[in-house]
Amino acid sequence: MNKYLNFIAEKNQVRYLVISIVFLIFSFFWIYPLLWVLSASLKTDFEIWSGLGLIPDRLVWENFERAWIGANMGRYFFNTLIITVVSVIIVVVTTGMFGYVIGRYSFPGKKILIGILISTIFIPQGYTIIPVFDLLSDLNLSKNLLGLIIATAGASPVIYILLFAGYFSRIPVELEEAAKMDGAGFFRIFVLIMLPLTKPVVATVSILQVLHAWNDFLLPVVITLGNPDIRTLSVGVYAFKGEYFIDWSGMAAASVITILPIIVLFLFMQKYFVEGVQGAVKG
């Protein structure tokens, strides 16, 4: 149940109104940079720099055409989409299995395993990036999407494992025991009893990984340094800035192509975003 400390009394209309208005103004300024880039993507270069207004005189859809085709954002969009989707599947399956075992079973070596995992939580990405790059080169995976996909999937498993483990450990034992009586083995219990119960945590983990994979920058920028074909959207826009630095409206359109899908996803699945974020401190 939700708990609220309502120090804004319903009777006190003035205070209520003042707080609402202050927050409305604050929200507008807060969101202005995002609205600005959205409006810039539909303006001419001249208009972008001519005022603070957000409504374009005429909707210049050609900006998107230039970005999508000319600057190759179309290709980068599908690269990013593939990396995101495949890495989400890998992450959910592998960390889900891991979390299940950690959450419900004890076995020799479990404590050491958990200790090792926890100790890696705060390792900065800047610390591991060079060996990751080297490893992928040695495996001949640094020039194709596959390398980027598995590196993206393997980068930060700990939070996901803990989310899964916490969730599985709360499922009552009785369910499992009944199945054992019926002769179900380890694998069947997992698939028939446990998996159907995990939808909420799968959703949360998926959302977190989507956010990570879609928005990641350091790993893809390093992997794609010598190979523009496998760039992701973030890297593509960054390269765009270096290559066509005077095409402001095209760059704004490329930015919108990158951020809009995630914002739309967020608006529809807000609950899971919030749960994922809060799970990190609650746990």
Partner 1 sequence: MYKKSLSQQIYDARWCYLFILPCSILTGMFVLYPIGMSWYFSLLDWSGFTDDAKFIGFQNYVEAINDKFFWDAFYRSFIFMFGTVPVKIVLGFIIAVFLNNQVLKLSPFFRTIIFMPVVTAIAIIGIVMTFIFSPFNGPANKLLMATNLTSGPIDFLGNPDTVLPTVMGVYVWKWLGITMMYWLAALQTVPQDVYDAAKIDGAEGLKLWINIILPIVLPFAIVIILVEAVSALNVFPLIETMTAGGPFFSSEVMEVYIFRTAFITDAGTMPRLGYACAAGVFWGVAVLFITALQGFWMRKIRRI
Residues 94-113 that bind partner 1 (CB under 8 A): 94-95, 97-98, 100-102, 105, 107-108, 113
Is residue 89 involved in binding partner 1 (CB under 8 A)? Answer: no
Q: Which three-class secondary structure string do you get for 67-87?
A: HHHHCCHHHHHHHHHHHHHHH
How many amino acids of this chain bind partner 1 (CB under 8 A)?
Answer: 102
Over the window 158 to 177, marking each residue x when it contacts partner 1 by CB under 8 A and - when it does not, the resulting string is ---x----------------
Residues 49-68 that bind partner 1 (CB under 8 A): 49-52
Distance CA 146, CA 72 (A): 20
Dihedral pair phi/psi, residue 31, rounded to 5°: -95, -5
Which amino acid appears at position 147 of this protein? Answer: G
Sequence-distant (6+) residues with CB within 8 A of 138 are: none
Is residue 135 involved in binding partner 1 (CB under 8 A)? Answer: yes
The CB-of-69 to partner 1 minimum distance in angstroms stands at 20
Burial of 34 (0-12, 13-18, 19+ CB in 10 A): middle
Helical spans, DSSP H, in the chain: 13-40, 45-48, 62-65, 73-104, 110-119, 125-138, 145-154, 158-169, 173-181, 186-188, 199-215, 218-223, 233-243, 248-268, 270-282
Is residue 140 involved in binding partner 1 (CB under 8 A)? Answer: no
Among 27, 140, 169, 227, binds partner 1 (CB under 8 A): 27
Among 82, 85, 89, 117, binds partner 1 (CB under 8 A): 117
Among 63, 79, 224, 258, binds partner 1 (CB under 8 A): 258
Residues 226-255 that bind partner 1 (CB under 8 A): 233-235, 237-238, 241, 248, 251-252, 255
Q: Return the sign of the alpha-carbon dihedral for residues 268, 257, 35, 216.
A: positive
Residues 181-200 that bind partner 1 (CB under 8 A): 185-187, 190
Among 18, 30, 62, 78, binds partner 1 (CB under 8 A): 30
The CB-of-179 to partner 1 minimum distance in angstroms stands at 14
CB nearer to partner 1: give 34 or 75.
34
Among 69, 123, 192, 197, binds partner 1 (CB under 8 A): 123
Sequence-distant (6+) residues with CB within 8 A of 20 are: none
User: What Rg value do the Cα atoms of the chain yield, rounded?
Assistant: 24
